[in-house]
Amino acid sequence: MGEYDAVVVGAGVVGCAAARALAGEGRGVLLLERGDFPNPRATSHGPSRIFRLAYHEGEMYVPMLRRSRRAWQRLDRDAEADLFYRTGSLTVGPESGDSFTGARATCHTHDIDHEVLDAAAVNDRFPAYDLPEGYRAVFQPDGGLLDPERCLVALAEAAMADGAELRAREPVVDWTAGEDGVRVRTPRRDYDADSLVVASGAWAADHVAAVEGLVERERHVACRIRPRTPAAFAPDSFPVFVMDTEDGRHFYGLPRHRVPGFKVGATHAEGSAVHPDEIHDAGLAETEAARGFARDFAPTGDGAVLGTRACVLSQTPDGDYIIDTLPDGGNVVVAVGMSGHGFKTAPVVGEVAAALATDSDPPVDADPFALDRFDGVGDGRG
C-alpha cells in the first residue's frame, strides 16, 4: 500500500475534479501542479467558458453534460461562488451545416428543451446579431457560462476539505508503475501511491508515452472585444454561441462577464504546434480570424480589442476525450485530450477517472473515450 491512495498530476479543472471525486470517497489524494495554482499557462484560466446541452460534437456527451450541469450547480450552491450563469446557448449555421443539424438532432433524440430559429428571429430576439438569410439556430435555454478560475478554486477547496493535499510548483519528473503501485518523482521527493491519474492537459505527452502522437498541441487565441453597443452583448441578451459559416469558418463566443468586452474565438483555424511552456502573447494578426465574426455577423461588436488569451489546446485525432487506464502500465489512468471542449464536463470526467483508478464502475459510459480506438498505442511508460 502506498502512502497515498492516488496521486493526481495536473491541477487544472479535470485534475481538481478527479481529486475531489477521490477525496470525497475517503481516499488519500495528492494533487500535483507544475506551476502556480491556478496556472495561467493552462487552459483552465480566464473569465468564462461555455456550457451547452445542445451538443453537435456527439450524443455520447449528453449524459455527461446533464450530470455535469447538476454538479456545477451543486458546487455553485455549496461554495456560494457564482460559478454558473444561465444565458441560454445558440448553435448557429447554414440550415444544412453540421453544427446546426447536429445540435437539432441531439435535442430531438434526448428530449432537450429547445427552439429552432431562422435568421430573422435570431436578429430580432438577440440584437447583437445580423445573420444573413438562410442561417438557422438552435436556441437552448439551459446553456450558459462557467467562471473557470472560480470553478477551479471551488473544486480544489472541496477536495482539500475532504483531505486531499495540493502541492503547486512541483512538476513531475518521472513515474514508474507496477503490480505494487506507482512511484512519482518530483524535484522535491518521491511519492508512492496505489494509483496515478494523469490529467496534465497539454503537458501530458511529456511524460506519458501512450498519448504521444495522439494529443496534438495546438496554439489557440481568443479575443475580448469592446462592442459599440455594450448592452446587446450583456449576459441577458447575448447567449453563449457556437457557429459554422457557409465559407467553412467556425466561431464560438460568450457575453461580457466580469471584464469589459465580449469573448470570441475561431475554432478549427490552423494553429501552430507549440509546447505550453513556450506560449507567448497573441500578436495583432492572430486576432483577425476571431474578429471576422463581429465584422460579418455582429457588426456593432466590431470595436477595439481589449484583450487576448493565447493557450495550447490538446487535440485528439477524432476530437473526443481520452479517459482510460494505460495498457500494461499498472494502475495508471489518463484523462487528457479534451480538444478545447472539455471544461463543461470536467466534474464527470473527474468522476470517470476516479472510478477507473479505483477499479469501480464509472457513472457514465466511458467506452467512447478508450485508448484502443486509436492504432499504435504506446506502452504506457513515463
What's residue 1's pLDDT?
A: 54
Residue 379 inside a domain? The answer is no
In this structure, the answer to whether residues 188 and 290 fall within a common structural domain is no
Over pLDDT 90: what percentage of the chain? 75
Which residues partner with 89 through β-bridges? 140, 240
Asked whether residue 381 is domain-assigned, the answer is no
Q: Is the pLDDT of residue 347 over 60?
A: yes
Span of 43-52, 149-158, 198-207 with lowest mean pLDDT: 43-52
For residue 322, being part of any structural domain is answered with: no
225 has a pLDDT exceeding 80: yes
CA-to-CA distance for 119 and 137, rounded, in angstroms?
Answer: 7
Q: How confident is the model at residue 139 (pLDDT cuts 50, 70, 90)?
A: very high
321, part of any domain: no
Q: Which range among 81-95, 123-137, 306-320 shows the weakest confidence by mean pLDDT?
A: 306-320
With cell 494502475, the residue in question is 331
Q: C-alpha grid cell for residue 126?
A: 438577440
Q: Indicate the number of domains in the chain.
A: 2
Assess if residue 245 is contained within a domain: yes
Is it the case that residue 381 has pLDDT exceeding 50? Answer: no
Residue 219 has pLDDT above 90, yes or no: no
Q: Is the dihedral of CA 345, 350, 353, 359 positive or negative?
A: negative
Q: What pLDDT was estimated at residue 377?
A: 44
The pLDDT score that the predictor gives to residue 278 is 84
Q: Is the same domain home to 80 and 186?
A: no
Domain range for 343: 4-44+157-207+330-373
Q: In terms of domains, do 106 and 76 share one? A: yes
Amino acid 358: pLDDT? 95
Looking at the structure, do residues 127 and 236 belong to the same domain, yes or no? yes
Question: Do 368 and 233 have their domain in common?
Answer: no
In this structure, are 188 and 271 located in the same domain? no
In this prediction, residue 378 carries a pLDDT of: 42
Q: Are residues 60 and 161 in the same domain?
A: no
Residue 359 has pLDDT above 70, yes or no: yes
253 shares a domain with 129: yes
What's 254's domain CATH number?
3.30.9.10
- Supply the pTM of this predicted model: 0.93
Per-chain mean pLDDT for the chain: 92
d(C-alpha 142, C-alpha 113), whole Å = 8
**What are the helix and strand counts (H, E) for the chain?**
7, 19
| pLDDT tens-digit map of 48-64 | 999 999 999 988 999 99
Q: Residue 223: pLDDT above 50?
A: yes
- The mean pLDDT of 330-344, rounded to a whole number, is 90
Q: What is the mean pLDDT of residues 228-237?
A: 95
pLDDT of residue 270: 61
Q: Which of 315, 340, 358 is at the close of a domain?
A: 315
Nearest alpha carbon to residue 319 among 368, 254, 260 = 368
Task: Select the more confidently predicted residue: 171 or 45.
Answer: 171
Task: Please give the Cα distance from 1 to 358 (Å, whole number).
Answer: 13
If asked whether residues 115 and 141 sit together in one domain, one would say yes
Residue 348: which CATH number?
3.50.50.60
> Residue 275 pLDDT > 50, yes or no?
yes
Do 133 and 241 lie in a common domain? yes
Mean pLDDT of 139-153: 95
In tens, the pLDDT along 92-113 reads 999 999 999 999 999 999 999 9
> Does the residue 232 lie in any domain?
yes
Q: Do both 254 and 338 map to the same domain?
A: no
The mean pLDDT value for 2-25 works out to 96
Residues 181 and 64 in one domain: no
User: pLDDT confidence of 250, banded at 50, 70, 90?
Assistant: very high
Complete DSSP assignment for 172-219: --EEEEETTEEEEE-SS-EEEEEEEEE--GGGGGGT-GGGTTTSEEEE
CA atoms of 126 and 179, how far apart (whole Å): 58
380 band by pLDDT with thresholds 50, 70 and 90: very low
Q: How far apart are CA 101 and CA 13, in angstroms?
A: 30
Residue 380 lies in a domain: no
Asked whether residue 378 is domain-assigned, the answer is: no
Query: What's the mean pLDDT in 16-21?
Result: 98
